[in-house]
Structure 1
Amino acid sequence: MKSEDNEVLPSDNIIQYGPLKIRRCRKPAPTIATGRRSKFLILFGNEEIKREQRRAKNREAARKLKEKRQLIEEQLDEKLRQLQCEHLVLQEYLQRLEQKKQNLEQKIDSVSTDPLIELLSTNNQNMLLFFEECSDDLDFFGESLDKIFDSEL
């Protein structure tokens, strides 16, 4: 006899899991190919209690292992998020450094003359005054201030 939710009643010894139908063994073998007893083998007394204790311990160990795996996975996900954020920050920093490098290269390329000549030009009066005040130090080189300015310009 079939019940209304498409499962075959136990009297027929067939179990239906969705589209699959499984026939239960009527007389389970005392051992399976690995030498272990079948889980369908009906045990009595102390052996049944031991089996249930083993199964309970196994279920508890499996639950703990699943929790531990989930905890490790959450920690790894958090570490991944942190590293991705750090990667983005470092990429932005690298882009800023590259932009700064390009700006400095453009400034170097835009300077058409030697910076020392630019400092000594007549347009920069403050530097000329500074050199005139320190003219005694320029005599150390054996050249007068006029010769330096005449040769550079």
Structure 2
Amino acid sequence: MWCKYSVIIILIVSMIIGGCVDQGSNESQEPQEPIQPKKPVLKTEPIDLSSTTAEKMDFANHYSLNPLEISLNAPQYDLPLQTNQISNYEPFSREIQLSDDALSLLEKNGFVVIDNPFDRTEEDIVQPYKMLADDEIPIFVTTDSLLHLYHI
């Protein structure tokens, strides 16, 4: 009985010690090329609403979406931003002055929301976009502003 336990203990100790021994690598230590991250792809599935039957959804009968596969190639950037790394910051800042707080938020978050710089009392959401277009200032239209326009 004692012999049986001795053999088991010797096998366990051998396995533990054998696992700790550095066995080295047979592969040559050639420098490897850096692995390029795979570019993300946006894929959509086809949608066909032509057979949809619902009250007040006549338009849906004429809607279909073909499948899309788009490689996302926009360059990435790290936060916080440096204003000298923002491609159109100088022309923009000549037209619209940002306060120190707004500039700090732009650098920290990559975007900033500001009051209408042309007329703070203006309540028409379309007017600032017209003024920006007239002054040839790049416009970024967000989905929430479009949603607001369509619900007014």
TM-score of the two chains, using structure 1 as the length reference: 0.20
- Higher RCO (C-alpha under 8 Å, 6+ residues apart): 2
Structure number with bigger Rg: 1
Task: From the two aligned structures, give the one with the greater helix fraction.
Answer: 1
